Chains A and B, each alone.
Chain A
Amino acid sequence: MAAPLAAPVGDAARRAARRARRLRGWLVQGVLALAVLALALVVARNVGANLEARGIKSGFGFLADPAGFNIGELLIDYTARDSYLRAFAAGMANTLRVSLAGIVLATVLGVAVGLLRLARHPLVSGLCGAWVEVFRNIPLLIQLLAIYLLVTELLPDSSGALSIPGVALLSKEGLQVAVPENGRLAIAVALAAFALAAALGWAAARRWLDSGAGLLAAVAGAIVAALAWIAVGVASGWSKPVLDGFLISGGAALTPEFLALWLGLSLFTSASIAELVRAGALAVPIGQWHAAQALGMNGRQVVGGVVFPQALRLAIPPLASQYMNLIKNSSLAVVIGYPDLVSIANTSINQNGQALEAIVVIMAVYLTLNLVVAVVMGVVNARVTRAPR
C-alpha cells in the first residue's frame, strides 16, 4: 500500500521542520528587537519632553563649559579654568590609576595567598585561609572606611612628618617621595628599559630554564627599569619634597585617599582571586601531580610546568570578572574623598544640575573600561587554552 505523498517524509520532513523553526526563531527575535528599540525610543522621547516641560536644561553642551572647581590629585594637567570634559578625563585617569594599581597588587597577593593556602604547613595554610575569610566577608565599604580612618588617625600631621630628608615624607598629607626632575622622560626611559631587558632576558632564560622564564624576565626587566629611572634622576636632578608652611612642594605624592582605596580594593579582590587560584589548582587531577613526580620533576617544576598552566585555564574567565568588579568597586572612592570619575561627576551634577548626562558619561566610561578588560582577558584566555595539553 503506497503512503500518501501530501506531507514530506524522512529527510525532507526534517529539513522542512528545520526551515520552519529557523524562520520562527528569526521572526520572534526580530519582533523582540523592534519592541526593545521602540521602548527605548519612547522612553528617550518622553524623558526629553518632560525635561523640557519642567524647564530643566539638557544636552551635552555643558561639557565645553569651564568647570570652575579644583581636583585634589591629578595625572593629567587640569585647572579650575578647564572644561568639564577635561575634568571628567582627569577623573577617569584617577579611576584608571587606582584600578590598574589595584589589579596588579590584587593579582600578586591573590596568587601568592591562593598557592600558599595549599601548603602542607598548618600555620601557613591557616593564615592564608584567615586572610581569605576576613577580606572576603567584610563589606568593601567598611574596609575602605576602616583603612582610611587608620591611615588618617595614625599618621602624624604634616608639621611633624616622618621623613628621610630629601627622599620621602610621610604624614597625613600622604607619602611624598623624590622623583626625577623630568618625570615624564624618566617614565618613558624606564618603560623602554623594561621592554628591552624583559625581551632579552626572556630570550636568554628560555634556553636554560624549562619553566618560569617569563617571571624571571619580568623581574629582570623591573630591576633594569628601576635602575634606568634612577639614572635619569641622577642625570637630570631630583625634585625633592620640601615642607614650607602647609605647602609641600616638589616630589610625587600618594595621598591617604589613594593609599586607602588602593589597599582596600587590592585586599578585598585578592581574597577572591586566591580562591580562584586554589580552586583551579585543586581541579587539576591528582594523576597529573603523580605523573609529573614520576617523571622525576621537582616541586617547582611540578607546580610551574604542569599544574599552574592547567589551573590557569580554569581561573582566567572568572579572573576577568574579578578585574571588572575591582574597576566598578573603585567608584566607592567617593566615600573616602578620592577624586575618581564618580566623584567628579557628582560635583559636576551639582554645579550644573545635569544629572542624566553625567550619569550617561559614567556608564559609558565603566562600560568601555570593562569591555576593554573583557577583550584583553579574552585574548589571554585564547592563548592559554590553545597551548597544547
Chain B
Amino acid sequence: MKIPYVVPAALALAAAASPAWAGKTLDAVKSRGQVVCGVNTSGPGFSNADSQGKWTGLDVDFCKAVAAAVLNDANKVKFVPLNSQQRFTSLQAGEVDVLSRNSTWTLTRDASLGIVFTGINYYDGQGFMVPKKLSIASAKKMNGATVCVQAGTTSEKNVADYFGANNMKYKPVVFDTAEAITSAFFSGRCQVYTTDMSDLAGARTKAPKADDYVILPEVISKEPLGPSVRRGDDEWFEIVRWTLFAMLEAEEDGLTQGNVDSQKASSKDPNVQRFLGVSEDTGKLLGLDKEWAYRIVKQVGNYGESFERNLGPKSPVGLPRGVNNLWTKGGLMYAPPIR
C-alpha cells in the first residue's frame, strides 16, 4: 500500500519550504557555481537573446557583473526569461537569485512583495509611440485613441492617471507579452503604444520601418528601473547592491575594460588602489575576495561601457545617455564611496 509513504512525503513538502533565507543565497550560488538571473523575455537593450541564444543587454551585463564578483567568472550565469507577471513570484519562490529585468521600483513592490530593490540602473519614464502618418505632435492630442499596453506593468496605471488628469478618453487593449503588443501596434490595431521610453525605443527597432513611428516628447511618469532580491538575506542584498555601485564607481574613476590592468599595475590614486584591491581588501566585508571589483571591470566593464554597448547612440536602440549619466556629468548616477 502506497498511502503511508505518500502522505508524510506530501506533509514534509508542505512543511519544508523554510522562510529563513539569511546568508543562504551566497552559499547556494557558490555551491551551484552559477548565478540564476531573471531577465526580460524580450527587451532590446536590456535583455535580448540573439539567434544563437546569446544574451545581451544592460540587465544582462548586470547579472554577469554579479557572477564576476561572486564566482570569478562573468559567464557563470543562467538566464531565466520571465514575463511581467511571473517576475516577482519567481524571485519570491527562490527560482532566481537576482531579478534584473527592467522593473520599476515602487513603494508597493518594495514593501509588500517580499522583495527589495537594490538600486537603480536606469532612470526611465513612460512615454508614447505613435505612427508618423497620424501626425500627432503632442500626447495631449490623443483623445479617444486606442492604446496598446502590456498587462501587469506600472504603465497600465500611469496611462489611466494621465488620460484622467487631462480629461481625455482612451480605450486600452491589454496584451500579455511585449511581442503581442508590438505585433498588434505595428498592424495598426492601436494608434498609441505606451510603455517606458527605453522599451519604446527598443520596440521601434523591431518595426517593419522604424522611421514610420515617432516617440512623443511627453514623459508621464518616473520609472526608476533596477535589480531586486528576496527579502531576508542581507548579505546577498549587499553584494548585489554594491555590484552596481562598483560599476558606477569604475566609470567615475575612469577605469575601463581596456585600461583596468595597466591602472591596477601603475595607478597611484588611492581610490583606484583601494577599489581594485591593491591596497585594501574591501571584498571581505561583503563575503567576497579583494579583487571582486577588479573582475567586474575586467570581465564586464564599467556602467558607461555597458550603457554605450547596449543602449547608447551607436547601438540599435540609440538612446542618449541623458539623466543616466554620472552625477559629475549632469546625470543622476551616483555611487556611495567604496571604502
Of the candidates B11, B114, B144, the one whose C-beta lies within 8 Å of that of A55 is B114
One digit per residue, 1 when the CB lies within 8 angstroms of any chain B CB and 0 when it does not, for chain A 224-262 equals 000000000000000000001111110000011100000
| Interface residue B188 (Cβ < 8 Å from any Cβ of A) | yes
Nearest-Cβ distance from residue B250 to partner chain A, whole angstroms: 33
Interface pick from A122-130, A285-293, A341-349: A341-349
A149 touching B187, Cβ below 8 Å: yes
**Closest chain A residue to B112, Cβ basis:** A57
- The CA of A248 and the CA of B88, in the complex, are separated in Å by 38
| Interface residue B28 (Cβ < 8 Å from any Cβ of A) | no
- The CA of A339 and the CA of B149, in the complex, are separated in Å by 12
| Interface residue B10 (Cβ < 8 Å from any Cβ of A) | yes
| Interface residue B152 (Cβ < 8 Å from any Cβ of A) | yes
B92 touching A173, Cβ below 8 Å: no
B92 touching A56, Cβ below 8 Å: yes
Report the interface size class on chain A: 35 or more
Interface pick from B56-64, B156-164, B208-216, B253-261: B156-164
A54 touching B230, Cβ below 8 Å: yes
Given contacts A39-B14, A70-B160, is CB(A335)–CB(B180) below 8 Å?
A: yes
A349 touching B152, Cβ below 8 Å: yes
Q: Which residues of A contact B10 (CB under 8 A)?
A: 39
| Interface residue B34 (Cβ < 8 Å from any Cβ of A) | no
- The CA of A89 and the CA of B121, in the complex, are separated in Å by 39
Given contacts A39-B10, A247-B144, is CB(A54)–CB(B15) below 8 Å?
A: no
Nearest-Cβ distance from residue B20 to partner chain A, whole angstroms: 8
B173 touching A337, Cβ below 8 Å: yes
- The CA of A148 and the CA of B176, in the complex, are separated in Å by 15
Of the candidates B19, B20, B112, B144, the one whose C-beta lies within 8 Å of that of A245 is B144
Q: Which residues of A contact B109 (CB under 8 A)?
A: 353
Of the candidates B14, B112, B187, the one whose C-beta lies within 8 Å of that of A56 is B112
| Interface residue B85 (Cβ < 8 Å from any Cβ of A) | yes
Of the candidates B85, B161, B232, the one whose C-beta lies within 8 Å of that of A350 is B85
| Interface residue A42 (Cβ < 8 Å from any Cβ of B) | yes
Contacting residues of chain A (14-73) with chain B, CB-CB under 8 angstroms: 35, 39, 42-43, 46, 49-51, 53-57, 68-73
Q: Which residues of A contact B20 (CB under 8 A)?
A: 53
| Interface residue B279 (Cβ < 8 Å from any Cβ of A) | no
Nearest-Cβ distance from residue B233 to partner chain A, whole angstroms: 11
- The CA of A246 and the CA of B189, in the complex, are separated in Å by 12
Q: Which residues of B contact A249 (CB under 8 A)?
A: 144
One digit per residue, 1 when the CB lies within 8 angstroms of any chain A CB and 0 when it does not, for chain B 159-193 equals 11101100001111111100010011001110100
| Interface residue A76 (Cβ < 8 Å from any Cβ of B) | no
B151 touching A46, Cβ below 8 Å: no
| Interface residue A352 (Cβ < 8 Å from any Cβ of B) | yes
Of the candidates A42, A54, A349, the one whose C-beta lies within 8 Å of that of B232 is A54
- The CA of A247 and the CA of B10, in the complex, are separated in Å by 56
A346 touching B114, Cβ below 8 Å: no
A153 touching B187, Cβ below 8 Å: yes
Nearest-Cβ distance from residue A303 to partner chain B, whole angstroms: 44
A349 touching B114, Cβ below 8 Å: no
Given contacts A54-B230, A54-B232, is CB(A347)–CB(B156) below 8 Å?
A: yes
A350 touching B113, Cβ below 8 Å: no
| Interface residue A351 (Cβ < 8 Å from any Cβ of B) | yes
B174 touching A343, Cβ below 8 Å: yes
| Interface residue B108 (Cβ < 8 Å from any Cβ of A) | yes
**Closest chain A residue to B144, Cβ basis:** A247
Report the interface size class on chain B: 35 or more
A80 touching B152, Cβ below 8 Å: no
B180 touching A355, Cβ below 8 Å: no
- The CA of A352 and the CA of B157, in the complex, are separated in Å by 11
Q: Which residues of B contact A42 (CB under 8 A)?
A: 11, 14-15
One digit per residue, 1 when the CB lies within 8 angstroms of any chain A CB and 0 when it does not, for chain B 273-317 equals 000000000000000000000000000000000000000000000
| Interface residue B153 (Cβ < 8 Å from any Cβ of A) | yes
One digit per residue, 1 when the CB lies within 8 angstroms of any chain B CB and 0 when it does not, for chain A 141-183 equals 0000000010011000100000000000000110000000000
Q: Which residues of B contact A51 (CB under 8 A)?
A: 114
A346 touching B92, Cβ below 8 Å: no
Given contacts A246-B142, A334-B176, A350-B153, is CB(A172)–CB(B188) below 8 Å?
A: yes
A246 touching B145, Cβ below 8 Å: yes
A347 touching B19, Cβ below 8 Å: no
A68 touching B161, Cβ below 8 Å: yes
| Interface residue B265 (Cβ < 8 Å from any Cβ of A) | no
One digit per residue, 1 when the CB lies within 8 angstroms of any chain B CB and 0 when it does not, for chain A 319-351 equals 000000000000000111101000100110111
- The CA of A53 and the CA of B94, in the complex, are separated in Å by 14
Given contacts A49-B19, A157-B188, A339-B174, is CB(A347)–CB(B7) below 8 Å?
A: no
**Closest chain A residue to B19, Cβ basis:** A53
A71 touching B152, Cβ below 8 Å: no
**Closest chain B residue to A353, Cβ basis:** B113
- The CA of A335 and the CA of B145, in the complex, are separated in Å by 21
Contacting residues of chain B (119-147) with chain A, CB-CB under 8 angstroms: 142-146
Given contacts A69-B156, A256-B189, A352-B112, 14 further A-B contacts (CB under 8 A): A39-B11, A46-B14, A50-B19, A70-B172, A152-B184, A157-B188, A246-B146, A255-B173, A336-B180, A343-B174, A347-B174, A349-B152, A351-B157, A353-B109
Q: List 22 A-B contacts (CB under 8 A).
A: A39-B11, A42-B15, A54-B92, A55-B111, A55-B232, A68-B161, A70-B170, A152-B187, A172-B188, A172-B189, A245-B143, A257-B173, A336-B175, A337-B173, A337-B174, A337-B180, A339-B174, A346-B152, A346-B176, A347-B152, A347-B156, A350-B153
Chain B contact residues, CB within 8 Å of chain A: 7, 10-11, 14-15, 17, 19-20, 84-85, 88-89, 92, 108-109, 111-114, 142-146, 148, 151-153, 156-157, 159-161, 163-164, 169-176, 180, 183-184, 187-189, 191, 230-232
Chain A contact residues, CB within 8 Å of chain B: 35, 39, 42-43, 46, 49-51, 53-57, 68-73, 80, 149, 152-153, 157, 172-173, 244-249, 255-257, 334-337, 339, 343, 346-347, 349-353, 355
